[in-house]
Amino acid sequence: MLTFCKKTFLLIVFVFIACKNSDKAKKTVLSDVINNKVLQAVGVKKIKPPERFYHPDLIGFANNFISDAARYGVIITDQSKELLRVINFSDKLDTTETGVLASCNRYRGENQAFGGVIEVRWNTIQVLKDATKRYTGESHILLRELLYHELYHCLLNKGHLPEDVPGIMNPFFQRGDQRAFKDWDGLIADMFSKKLRDMTPDAP
C-alpha cells in the first residue's frame, strides 16, 4: 500500500458489474458504477506511480485501440498514454460490488516539495480474471469489447453514452448483443464518431 504523511489521493473506479437478467432472453447485463474512494495515507514515503506493466494478453487491445482512434481522427495524447501505467488481470478488484468484471482506476495524490506540492497521477485497468473468463467464454471479441470500454474511460477521460443510445460506451452492455461479432468496424466507427463523442460526457 502506498503511504504518505497526511496526504490523500483519489481513486475513481469505473467498474463493470455483471448480473443475471431474469427475463426470458436470459442475457448477462453489465453496467458501470463510479466508485470514488479517498485513501488516507500515513508514513513518510512519497507517492509514486507503479512501474509500467501491460499484460501480454491485453497489450494488443491497447495498441489496436490507439490505432483505431487515430484512423477516425481521434488522437490519444502522449500524456494519456503515460498516465495509463498498468493493464493487467487481477484476482481481486478494489470494490465491494458483486459481479465485477473490470475497472478503470484513476489515482490522484500530492507530494510535498519546496515551495508547494507536486500532483501525482496515474491510471490503471484491472480485469478480474476468472469472472471475465466465465463471462466471455474465452471469446476474443467479447474481451476486446470489454477492454475498449475501459480504454475509452482511461485514455479519453470519458464517461458513458445516454442509456438509450447504443454503442460500446452505453452503460448497459448485454452479452446477447451481436454487433461486436457481425459489424465490429461499424461499432468502432460509431464509437469514435464526433456525434457519439459529443454525447459522451467527460468523466468526473
| Nearest C-alpha neighbor of 99 from the set 178, 22, 32 | 32
Residue with grid cell 469472472, as numbered in its chain: 131
pLDDT at 112: 75
DSSP 8-state symbol, 202 = B
pLDDT at 46: 79
Residues facing residue 110 across a β-bridge? 119
CB 123 within 8 A of CB 154: yes
pLDDT in tens, 48-103: 889 999 999 999 999 999 999 999 999 999 999 999 999 999 998 876 666 678 88
| Nearest C-alpha neighbor of 72 from the set 154, 186, 155, 193 | 193
pLDDT at 99: 67
Ranges of residues in the chain whose predicted pLDDT is under 50: 1-13, 17-27, 35-42
pLDDT at 42: 47
Rounded distance between C-alpha atoms, residue 175 and residue 186, angstroms: 18
Q: What is the pTM of this model?
A: 0.83
Rounded distance between C-alpha atoms, residue 113 and residue 109, angstroms: 13
pLDDT at 10: 45
DSSP 8-state symbol, 45 = P
pLDDT at 22: 33
Cell of 3: 503511504
pLDDT at 121: 87
* Beta-carbon count within 10 A of 19 CB: 11
